[in-house]
Chains A and B, each alone.
Chain A
């Protein structure tokens, strides 16, 4: 069996599962957040329950609406706090302890290798970075899981990406994500599939890079993305969870729907053109393209490693006068670590505006939304019309290193040739 099949088999109390089979599985944890959470609890109560299956395993996060930019959001947040309190939830990451839900789930040890965690936000696929099965679900599934500790799944076929070669300087996991997006497209091939990333170029990735890679598998249409746990995972989880876990991996004779070999030695910084995620180009096609807004943050690229790369590129330089640049760290922990490392001082001196952790403009809800005619260079995860605000704005998606180098020049710039 593949690692995903093994996780689903053990979570459903079976020795073996086969793709296509429908099973109910145990859930290790279920996450919901501010703008949908109240409805989860209401639906949960409508099932005739008043206490959740495990108070420690229902994780509540304020991320999309905080800090409230208007009265509507402020009122929604107050109702949300009330309902979380009413259910005596142990792990509530509200403003002050907040972060983007997926960052919180991994960073605070709420996902565990070899288990299934679900969340009411599409980028729950991120949890695969630690060798868990992370899956996005709707409010209904969350309510059912809160009541029963279970969710239904169809066992997906697995697709393997065997990634070899040596990462070029300034080329990041995001470039691999966008490269695969362009190679596979949204349409069809990877719908409902479990994507497994393996090979030396994955082993050498930090947890931050693995999170980026698994995070964007939802945008490929996949069911989940996963990296088998290894020494990097163990080191990362050591101080984050007391729960026991094993080094689960795919069997040598595991069956895959498809296997793709990717050599990243020649992988160039890659950019998704405005409007469609799979319309990607290598950076040489866009050199010199002007933009007026730059954004780094989100559950895809708002981690310490991403901020460190920005700081290294932007040290003692100035953001171009025609560009407004915003950084939103993915969590309070990331924010503090970036502060302690001196990165935030470097970036503030360079003219980067830094805002408190949240989903920010990635969800188009607040903090730096795009207006009509804006051209945004973003290290986020989506670029459809209206995603970051105005439907008349254009959003290019790329890595933090490209955003950093380009923001100094005021035009799309290859960090590999930038004078750092």
Chain B
């Protein structure tokens, strides 16, 4: 489904990785490992197409993501470090505006159910500024669930989440895999995933699959 071909990334004159190739197919979960500053976020941003690799390319369904950006972005959702939450919008409006960028017009009841699933029931009309950082991350989980994407790219998805939140994230990933979706993620927290998992290790330009 997704294929990375000999990617190379240089940041501030430092070579983070080169010749990095891997592929992710349906119903596959992959973890990107590496110490701080080893280029995990840069790699995820390259896979998303937000960052240009120094060399190599990313393919989606056999085509470069540059040439079929539209179909790739319809099937991929990326959640980065930043919360993407507007302080002046309510929880419901925040989810809605995130879904709007993907042109998904869903009924309020569907969004409310998703918010309930992530533990934000009865928070629909609370403004973003009144939420804790964990609750903001939970809005993103609701978005993730509603985004109808086959490929999830998650950068440190467990940041700011409490124990129940971590459990929720894990079960969401397992459900997504069950439904044939794929996940690429990075994390420094121990994620206990009860499934087969592949990993790519970054650092010192030696990586193994």
Q: A and B bound?
A: no
